[in-house]
């Protein structure tokens, strides 16, 4: 008996000479323009969909891109293309979005101005909240990266006040105005969004760059600074309506331009500090009242103060006075302490690999202040004495961690095991004995990460970092579970009080 497949193969063999030699390879550029450009922008810069440029997609795996194009993305406007595109076209498109464009895209002041939208001008909305809570300072903002939403929670009742869509892929902590009424979000695609918590409304938005790292809000609440990878720039905005004040090109003393790793606000200095990835300098942006002799003018009376560093310094941790910066040196060469007053390096730290300095926290131990830092590439928490920068201990954990948190009123510091087989574990460290006293596995197989305390440090929220995830509310002292709230891959949580008071147990 002849099997059908063989029969078909035979017939095709006979027909072969009559068929065209080879079907043409799909043209991803043409496919992009036909199917994708309308949402993702003609130059792949993004529109209602995210930018599709390799740097913006660095955290998306190739296979994931294939399945998003083929099957769509649930709970978003991204449709499934499996009926419209052949499999090889899907594969070609997925490959193509990870290749750099022929011409490096630009984002100038004119683009920033054109993207600016003010929905509710500063001062036009009522000053009283439209909802009732016991304590406006005990609210939490939670970023849900699963479907790009944000939730606002009443921290006392553990209830959701509202949930609203965010820009695609928010990154870095949202930043509050000093009074806690407004919160500013930064997205990896460069969008800065201002939200009025009292009126539950987005008031203004602007796109500061194509690939942005994070934003900072000045301690006096007047300015917002955005730091970009692409273009190599800092963008200074008026915090009221996000009006553009200045685009500051990042160019070193040697003429090299640089990506911005991150920007920070330095409250006691009333300035911004920028970590730069490609030049060995630390930049401080000062405004009129702080301007000093020798500073370079930016615009009006804003000034740039450059500090030459002995090495490239990345991913900063600050002491509480914002005098010292601990930065990771390039290529895993350890950490360095840089004195911003004396403008020189004062210590080297034995921090091999990739310390996650941005997640560092501090506390009092035997009358001295210590800082603790997790590592992204090894199961270790490093604890240093900040009075002389000596190493106290490297604490072994069950795998590399990403976030650390504590609270002045809590005896414990929390560190997750974000990477590796034990990503469902979270360690509880006794801040005095420097020992892991408990390891929780809240949901076997699911990542448990990022803790945030309520304003009093009595309870805490922990993310079960999954599309069908949830927030766990725990008693901060007994570690007992108190409640849960379903969420779509909740990532960071930010308590108004802890953030606006620069609580010692939280990163800023």
- Interface residues with ligand DHE (CB under 6 A) are 58-59, 145, 171-173, 214, 262, 315, 358, 402-403, 491-492, 507
Q: Smallest distance, Å, CB 371 to ligand DHE?
A: 16
DSSP state of 170: B
Beta carbon nearer to ligand DHE, 26 or 469: 469
Residue 186 forms beta bridges with which residues?
192
Beta carbon nearer to ligand DHE, 41 or 492: 492
Integer Cα distance of 240 and 206 in angstroms: 12
Tokens of 151: 């939730």
Integer Cα distance of 446 and 46 in angstroms: 31
Closest CA to 193 of 144, 120, 268, 287: 120
Q: Smallest distance, Å, CB 360 to ligand DHE?
A: 11
Give the distance between the most distant pair of CA atoms in the chain: 95
3-state secondary structure 221-276: CCEEEEEEEECCEEEEEECCCCEEEEEEECECCCCCECCEEEEEEEHHHCEEEEEE
Closest CA to 464 of 480, 486, 479, 483: 486
Q: Smallest distance, Å, CB 43 to ligand DHE?
A: 22
7 three-class SS: helix
Q: Smallest distance, Å, CB 213 to ligand DHE?
A: 6
Beta carbon nearer to ligand DHE, 58 or 99: 58
Beta carbon nearer to ligand DHE, 354 or 479: 354
Beta carbon nearer to ligand DHE, 70 or 356: 356
Beta carbon nearer to ligand DHE, 175 or 269: 175
Q: Smallest distance, Å, CB 354 to ligand DHE?
A: 8
Closest CA to 299 of 289, 308, 288: 288
Beta carbon nearer to ligand DHE, 324 or 465: 465
Beta carbon nearer to ligand DHE, 89 or 424: 424
Beta-carbon contacts of 307 under 8 Å, excluding residues fewer than 6 positions away, are: 281, 282, 283, 284, 338, 340, 343
3-state secondary structure 309-378: CCCCEEEEEECCCCCEEEEEEHHHEEEEEEECCCCEEEEEEEEECCECHHHCEEEEECCEEEEEEEECCC
Q: Smallest distance, Å, CB 495 to ligand DHE?
A: 10
Beta carbon nearer to ligand DHE, 60 or 201: 60
Task: Print burial letters for 209-222: b (CB count within 10 Å at least 16), e (below 16).
Answer: bbbbbbbbbbbebe
95 three-class SS: helix
Q: Smallest distance, Å, CB 506 to ligand DHE?
A: 7
Q: Smallest distance, Å, CB 265 to ligand DHE?
A: 9
Integer Cα distance of 202 and 409 in angstroms: 34
Q: Smallest distance, Å, CB 104 to ligand DHE?
A: 19
Integer Cα distance of 491 and 450 in angstroms: 7
């Amino acid at each position: 008996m002849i099997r059908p497949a063989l029969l078909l193969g035979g017939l095709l063999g006979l027909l072969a000479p009559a068929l065209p030699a080879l079907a043409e390879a799909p043209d991803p550029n043409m496919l992009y323009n036909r199917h994708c450009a309308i949402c993702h922008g003609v130059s792949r810069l993004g529109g209602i969909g995210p930018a599709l440029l390799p740097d913006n997609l660095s955290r998306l795996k190739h296979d994931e891109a294939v399945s998003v194009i083929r099957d769509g993305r649930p709970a978003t406007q991204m449709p499934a293309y499996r009926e419209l595109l052949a499999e090889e076209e899907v594969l070609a498109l997925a490959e193509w979005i990870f290749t750099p464009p022929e011409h490096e895209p630009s984002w100038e002041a004119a683009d920033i101005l054109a993207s600016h939208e003010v929905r509710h001008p500063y001062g036009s909305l009522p000053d009283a909240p439209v909802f009732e809570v016991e304590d406006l300072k005990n609210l939490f903002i939670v970023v849900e990266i699963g479907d790009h939403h944000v939730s606002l929670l009443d921290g006392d009742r553990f209830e959701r006040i509202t949930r609203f869509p965010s820009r695609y892929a928010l990154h870095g902590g949202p930043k509050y105005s000093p009074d806690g009424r407004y919160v500013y979000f930064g997205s990896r695609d460069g969008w800065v969004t201002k939200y009025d918590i009292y009126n539950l409304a987005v008031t203004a938005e602007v796109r500061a760059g194509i690939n942005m790292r994070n934003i900072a809000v000045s301690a006096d609440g007047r300015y917002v600074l955005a730091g970009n990878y692409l273009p190599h720039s800092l963008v200074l905005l008026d915090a009221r309506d996000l009006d553009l004040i200045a685009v500051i090109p990042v160019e070193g003393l040697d003429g090299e331009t640089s990506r911005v790793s991150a920007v920070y606000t330095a409250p006691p200095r009333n300035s911004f500090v920028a970590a730069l990835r490609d030049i060995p300098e630390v930049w401080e942006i000062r405004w009129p009242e702080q301007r000093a002799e020798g500073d370079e003018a930016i615009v009006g009376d804003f000034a740039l103060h450059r500090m030459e560093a002995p090495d490239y310094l990345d991913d900063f941790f600050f002491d509480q006075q914002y005098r010292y910066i601990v930065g990771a040196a390039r290529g895993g060469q350890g950490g360095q302490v840089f004195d911003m007053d004396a403008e020189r390096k004062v210590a080297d730290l034995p921090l091999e690999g990739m310390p996650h300095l941005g997640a560092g926290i501090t506390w009092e131990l035997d009358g001295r202040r210590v800082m603790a830092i997790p590592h992204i590439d090894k199961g270790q928490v490093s604890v240093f004495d900040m009075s002389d920068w000596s190493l106290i201990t490297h604490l072994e954990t069950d795998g590399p961690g990403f976030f650390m948190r504590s609270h002045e009123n809590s005896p414990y510091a929390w560190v997750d095991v974000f990477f590796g087989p034990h990503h469902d574990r979270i360690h509880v460290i006794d801040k005095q004995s420097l020992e892991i006293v408990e390891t929780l596995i809240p949901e076997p197989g699911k990542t448990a990460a990022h803790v945030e305390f309520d304003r009093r440090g009595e309870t805490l929220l922990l993310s079960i970092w999954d599309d069908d995830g949830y927030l766990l509310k725990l008693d901060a002292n007994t570690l007992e579970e108190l409640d849960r709230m379903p969420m779509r891959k909740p990532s960071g949580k930010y308590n108004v009080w802890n953030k606006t008071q620069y609580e010692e147990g939280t990163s800023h």
